[in-house]
DNA sequence: TTGAGACATGAGTTAACGCTCGTATTTTCC
DNA sequence: GGAAAATACGAGCGTTAACTCATGTCTCAA
């Protein structure tokens, strides 16, 4: 099993310089994804990944120092994909429209490979939290936070940033929770699901904003 | 590792008749919980569970045919705990009040042992889905569904039951997603979180009901 | 008291899996 | 062409962890 305790680096062991090498690396990462999707963690072994990728176990370890490094690479690949979409959505000036676009992007992404998304989500929590740095879910969280900050009332309350943090966390939680459930139910219609998530998120944000405003009026 | 392929039964191997035996079984299940909470799946081994329970590995295998059986027993223990609370909440005649009580119960339950809840949730998805039978999450789902059905407009639409199914799924997803997130952020105030979840769930349900009513008026 | 069965023990068996290393092949560059 | 570097290979090593089994101890009814 894993050499527990040996916190080896999770960065690639050697950078691929030739083209066949990058093809090998990409094949390994995609093989990891397909194994996780079809067999789950149960069959997610380095030997199986190498076999599915059509490369030898030796080649695998030439580019990844250990098994977790493969998982990290896969997580970062998927996060980068989603981050691109989310960033585009955040460019929309109207915060509400931006939020809706972000929701659609998140739903589409998670519903495109639901099993993989769920497993990677779990693994991400388990692995050494190099939260920031590199396009990880930390980056996505920041974008969501920034968009929600735009929805805040003009008057600067004390401790507003932690409220925004919480709202962003809740919005992401709602989205993930609903999409997870839909994935387990084998829902296919991403558009319908996105609308439902929009309803939930907007309903929640409006009631939160209303409460903030009433506090704002009564307290000072 | 696991003897992959051997789909042994997950039921207890032998029923405990004497009192010391039931104490042993309970100690094993609770030890499994504590290991999962403190070390995670990484250190969740049968030898570690036996050691933490203060019994020998042989005793463990006298009552559980394999490792998964321990996990299943733990899942059922936790689900039964929550189911009791949820059933009490469902007794409330006002559907909205019932829903709020159920949310409070779910939040309190999940926030009481957040790491354990999350891990068990993942394991439950992985294990052979004996969904129904015994107080499992299937039973909890049914209760939620029944409460939401009470909120439906009197006019019986076609395909209403599948809509209710979807609403229940969404409500559970919202609750789980928000509570998961809160657990990861180490939130401690369950009351505050429960209020936020109520806002999200009620906001979502109202908008869904409104849409159903407008369809109802325009279509017949 | 005593015997039978319930319960407890832990060293040992076995298979799997992460990972290494010595060797072979391909690419690059002069 | 040929040397050197990059890439590929896969048998095998070491460890881990699920699970067994032979043996010992406790409980309780008769």
> How do the domains of chain B map onto residue ranges?
19-65, 74-218
Q: A138, A193 in Cβ contact below 8 A?
A: no
Radius of gyration of chain A from Cα atoms? 20
Q: Which residue has the tokens 């395909």?
A: B159
The alpha-carbon gap from A23 to the nearest alpha carbon of chain B, in Å, equals 31
The alpha-carbon gap from B119 to the nearest alpha carbon of chain A, in Å, equals 9
All residues of chain A having their beta carbon less than 8 Å from the beta carbon of residue B184 are: 125
Q: Which residues, in sequence order, are CB contacts of B218 under 8 Å at separation 6+?
A: none
- Contact of A66 with chain B, judged by CB distance below 8 Å, is answered with no
Residue B166: pLDDT over 80: yes
- Contact of B117 with chain A, judged by CB distance below 8 Å, is answered with no
For A19-65, CATH number? 1.10.10.60
Mean pLDDT of A154-179: 91
Nearest residue to A135 (alpha-carbon basis) of A48, A72, A208, A197: A72
In angstroms, the CA of A54 and the C1' of C28 are apart by 25
- The residue lying closest to nucleotide C7, measuring its CA against C1', is B21
pLDDT bracket for residue B110 (50, 70, 90): very high
Q: B35, B43 in Cβ contact below 8 A?
A: yes
pLDDT of residue B2: 39
Helix then strand count (H, E) for chain A reads 9, 0
Residue B134: pLDDT over 50: no
CATH topology for the B74-218 domain: Tetracycline Repressor; domain 2 (1.10.357)
Q: Which nucleotides of C are covered by protein (CB under 7 A)?
A: 6-12, 16-22, 26-28
Within a 10 A sphere around the Cβ of B92, how many other Cβ atoms? 15
Give the chain A residue nearest B209 (alpha carbons).
A199
Q: B165, B146 in Cβ contact below 8 A?
A: no
CATH topology for the A75-218 domain: Tetracycline Repressor; domain 2 (1.10.357)
- Contact of A182 with chain B, judged by CB distance below 8 Å, is answered with yes
DSSP secondary structure code for residue B41 in this structure: G
Nearest residue to A122 (alpha-carbon basis) of B25, B61, B182, B120: B120
Q: Which residue has the tokens 């009481």?
A: B112
Q: B167, A199 in Cβ contact below 8 A?
A: no
Q: Which residues, in sequence order, are CB contacts of B181 under 8 Å at separation 6+?
A: A169, A170, A172, A173, A176
Mean pLDDT of A130-149: 78
pLDDT of residue B218: 54
Q: A144, A168 in Cβ contact below 8 A?
A: yes
Give the chain A residue nearest B2 (alpha carbons).
A42
Q: Is B74-218 the same fold as B19-65?
A: no
Mean residue pLDDT across chain A: 89
pLDDT of B4-61, one tens digit each?
A: 344 566 777 777 778 999 999 999 999 999 999 999 999 999 999 999 999 999 999 9
pLDDT of residue B95: 96
Q: What φ, ψ does residue A57 adopt, rounded to 5°?
A: -65, -30
A202 touches strand C (CB under 7 A): no
All residues of chain B having their beta carbon less than 8 Å from the beta carbon of residue A126 are: 40-42
At B13, is the secondary structure helix, strand, or coil? coil
- Give the Cα separation of B144 and B165 in Å (integer): 9
- Give the Cα separation of B174 and B167 in Å (integer): 10
pLDDT bracket for residue A78 (50, 70, 90): very high
pLDDT of residue A161: 87
Residue A158: pLDDT over 80: no
Give the chain B residue nearest A200 (alpha carbons).
B204
Mean pLDDT of A17-22: 90
- Contact of A4 with chain B, judged by CB distance below 8 Å, is answered with yes
Residue B133: pLDDT over 50: no
């Amino acid at each position: 099993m894993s050499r527990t305790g040996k916190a080896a680096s999770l960065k690639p062991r050697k950078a691929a310089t030739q083209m066949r090498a990058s093809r090998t690396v990409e094949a390994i990462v995609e093989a990891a994804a397909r194994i996780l999707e079809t067999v789950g963690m149960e069959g997610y072994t380095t030997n199986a990944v190498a076999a599915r990728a059509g490369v030898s176990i030796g080649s695998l370890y030439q580019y990844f120092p250990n098994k977790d490094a493969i998982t990290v690479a896969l997580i970062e690949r998927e996060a980068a994909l989603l981050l691109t979409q989310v960033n585009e959505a955040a460019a929309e000036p109207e915060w509400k429209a931006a939020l809706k676009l972000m929701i659609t992007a998140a739903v589409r992404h998670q519903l495109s490979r639901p099993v993989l998304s769920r497993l990677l989500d779990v693994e991400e929590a388990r692995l050494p939290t190099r939260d920031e740095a590199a396009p990880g879910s930390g980056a996505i969280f920041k974008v969501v936070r920034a968009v929600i900050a735009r929805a805040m009332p003009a008057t600067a309350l004390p401790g507003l940033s932690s409220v925004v943090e919480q709202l962003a966390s809740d919005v992401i939680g709602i989205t993930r929770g609903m999409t997870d459930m839909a994935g387990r139910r084998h829902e296919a219609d991403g558009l319908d699901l996105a609308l439902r998530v929009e309803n939930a998120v907007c309903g929640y944000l409006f009631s939160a904003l209303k409460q903030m405003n009433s506090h704002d009026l009564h307290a000072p």
